[in-house]
Amino acid sequence: MNLGKASEKIKNLPYPLQIVLFLGPFFLFPLFDKNTYHLDLLTGVGIFALLAMGLNVVVGLTGLLNLGYAAFFGIGAYTYALLNLHWHWSFWCGLPAAGLVSMLFGFLIGMPSIRVRGDYLAITTLGFGEITRIAFNNLDQWTGGPNGLLGIARPRFFNYSFSVNPTPYLYLVLVMIALTAFFLFRMSRSKIGRALVAIREDELAASCMGVPALHVKLVAFGVSAFIAGLAGAVFAAKQTIITPDSFDFVLSVLLLAMVVLGGMGNIWGAVLGALVLGVLPELLRGFAVYRMLIFGLVMILMMIFRPQGILGSQIIRRELGSPKEKGSDGTS
């Protein structure tokens, strides 16, 4: 079956059913595979999926290029770490706090950034990401400098304490992905979601139709940063140690590649992109010398033959296509 038609059929299903179909196999995975390495890898992919879903709000739905998304991930991680180490906050109290602090920074960077477009917006967000990483490196009194923060508490659920076993973290991440997907589905079908897509298609036309473009883009930045902050708190609790190197520019580019590969604007496309780019390097570990070459070649071929991504819609393809492909009336 054609990927585009399959994607459209999936999109027409009720979103609770989509969540069950996409995430159900991963909930059952630990029952069939007890390998700790595989479970840990899948947990890491789940954290990437959360981040890709958050970035997809800005890049895929709104059409704004953010090259500093790893900064919000880091802010969430350091927020929970500091609250836990200095004020002994539990994970469940620190989790929403991490999301809210990241959202606050999303608003702060969004207010000046959304007034510029294209390359200027990309440079602004890139600068914010690098400033954040450098701040983590130099604020030794709070962040521990290059050595980072150690001894971050793991989550506890009633009398059960999470340990080095990755299975509880996998279930935690899957539940968070399910809740995030549910929220994003609801948002995409709301007035705000339609406004985001309108801005992506033609911001000037959307503004002329009464869409408050600056306000809506600021909401997109805030929601995106909030999701990254939640993922950062989970990452910090799982690792029990965080360093500034974990939140560099390379991570932002990798997350952007996940969104583009899976299909911009598609919620499950972001999850699929995270799964592919999270697992592919491990599958190519036996070809260590050529791994990045193969990885790059796959990305190039994907952008040539399916620029809208694996689950991307034909609308995205037409936006990325040439004038000849779009046709004289703007359709393929």
CA distance 52 to 210: 30
Residue 119 vs residue 92, higher pLDDT: 92
Would you state the pLDDT for residue 329? 43
Most confident of 155-159, 173-177, 190-194: 173-177
Please tell me the predicted confidence (pLDDT) of residue 313. Answer: 64
- Looking at residue 56, its amino acid is N
pLDDT tens per residue across span 211-243: 999 999 999 999 999 999 999 999 999 999 999
Q: For residue 286, what pLDDT band results from cuts at 50, 70 and 90? A: confident
Mean pLDDT score of the chain: 89
Hey, where are the domains in the chain? 3-326
- CA neighbor of 101 nearest in space, from 113, 117, 89: 89
* Confidence class for position 1, pLDDT limits 50, 70, 90: very low
CA-to-CA distance for 268 and 256, rounded, in angstroms? 15
Name the pLDDT band for 159 (thresholds 50, 70, 90): confident
Does the structure show a pLDDT above 90 at 8? Answer: no
* The pLDDT value given to residue 315: 59
pLDDT at 332: 36
Q: What is the mean predicted confidence (pLDDT) over 242-270?
A: 93
- Give the model confidence (pLDDT) of 134-145 as tens digits: 999 999 999 999
Q: Are 251 and 94 in contact (CB under 8 A)?
A: no
User: Angle 267-283/291-305 helices, nearest 10 degrees?
Assistant: 150
Architecture of the CATH domain 3-326: Orthogonal Bundle (1.10)
Percentage above 70 pLDDT, the chain? 90
Is residue 76 a contact partner of residue 99, using CB atoms and an 8 Å limit? yes
Q: For residue 115, is pLDDT > 90?
A: no
